[in-house]
């Protein structure tokens, strides 16, 4: 499917390129609409739409009467896109960083409600690993891991994990599809071990077991 880009979109790309190349410093004013329009050989409204698009991406900011100003040197990377493009091993290493630290914190902060969530999600995971479609198994697995993150009681780590989930989910499903043996379904014990370490308030052990499990996952795809 081809896609012809409208002029306004092309203009936005061109401006973004110039901004990224440092043609205008942070906080500096861009040339006026009429000047830019003449430079790029397009109409004024086209330039305005391009500027609006970059304003939506938080790169430019226009103030009536004053001008258009650079407020960021590049578009804030769309994390979904970054993760889609990134090597799955890089993604899994990021996940490992987040989750081992979360396991460590969870061991100190877990509440009775967190432990209850562990029990439920582990039971679900066990059932799903026996006779369910791949999708269900993947969801059950992710649900347990999210329970661990939740137990860390850290909003940033939770949000980070949620950002990673879509990418991880897809990778897991692909992996299961390739691997007829479903070998990854047999690591229920590893998950129980992580939960136990958190329950026993042993940060180092929780982190170590989490690291071990996720290292194995990473190794299995590379």
Partner DNA sequence: CGAAACCAACTCCTCAGACAAGCTGAGAAC
Partner DNA sequence: GTTCTCAGCTTGTCTGAGGAGTTGGTTTCG
Q: What are the residues whose beta carbons fall under 8 Å from the beta carbon of 63, sequence distance 6 or more?
A: 69
Separation of alpha carbons 118 and 35, rounded Å: 62
Among 25, 26, 43, 201, binds DNA (CB under 7 A): 43
Binding track, positions 61-100, relative to DNA; x by CB under 7 A: -xxxxxxx--------------------------------
Contact of residue 172 among a copy of itself, DNA, none (CB under 5-8 Å per partner type): none
Does residue 33 interact with DNA by CB under 7 A? yes
- Residue 208, contacted partner among a copy of itself, DNA, none, CB below 5-8 A by kind: none
Return the closest-CA partner of residue 150 out of 117, 192, 120: 117
Kindly indicate which of the ranges 44-52, 89-97, 160-168, 197-205 contains the residues binding DNA, using the contact rule CB under 7 A.
44-52
3-state SS class at 202: coil
Q: Can you tell me the distance from the alpha carbon of 98 to that of 84, in angstroms, rounded to the nearest whole number?
A: 18
From residue 104, alpha-carbon distances to 162, 198, 203, 216 in Å are 18, 8, 4, 19
CA angle centred on 16, ends 32 and 54, rounded to 5°: 70
Which positions lie near a copy of itself, rule CB under 8 A?
6, 8, 12, 45, 48-49, 52-58, 64, 76-80, 82-83, 86-87, 90-91, 93-94, 96-98, 100-102, 105, 154-157, 159-160, 163
Which positions lie near DNA, rule CB under 7 A?
4, 6-8, 30-35, 37, 41-46, 48-49, 51, 62-68
């Amino acid at each position: 499917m081809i896609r012809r880009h409208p002029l306004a979109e092309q203009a936005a790309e061109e401006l973004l390129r110039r901004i990224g190349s440092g043609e205008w410093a942070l906080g500096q004013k861009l040339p006026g609409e009429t000047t830019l329009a003449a430079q790029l050989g397009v109409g004024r409204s086209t330039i305005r739409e391009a500027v609006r698009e970059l304003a939506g991406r938080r790169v430019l900011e226009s103030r009536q009467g004053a001008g258009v100003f650079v407020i960021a040197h590049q578009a804030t990377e769309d994390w979904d896109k970054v993760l889609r493009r990134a090597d799955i091993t890089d993604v899994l290493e990021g996940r490992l960083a987040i989750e081992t630290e979360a396991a460590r914190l969870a061991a100190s902060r877990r509440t009775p409600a967190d432990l209850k969530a562990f029990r439920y999600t582990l039971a679900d995971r066990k059932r799903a690993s026996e006779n369910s479609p791949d999708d269900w198994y993947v969801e059950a697995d992710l649900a347990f891991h999210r329970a661990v993150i939740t137990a860390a009681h850290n909003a940033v780590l939770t949000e980070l994990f949620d950002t990673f989930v879509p990418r991880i989910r897809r990778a897991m499903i692909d992996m299961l599809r390739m691997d007829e043996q479903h070998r990854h379904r047999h690591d229920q014990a590893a998950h129980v071990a992580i939960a136990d370490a958190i329950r026993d308030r042993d940060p180092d052990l929780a982190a170590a077991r989490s690291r071990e499990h996720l290292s194995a996952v990473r190794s299995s795809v590379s």
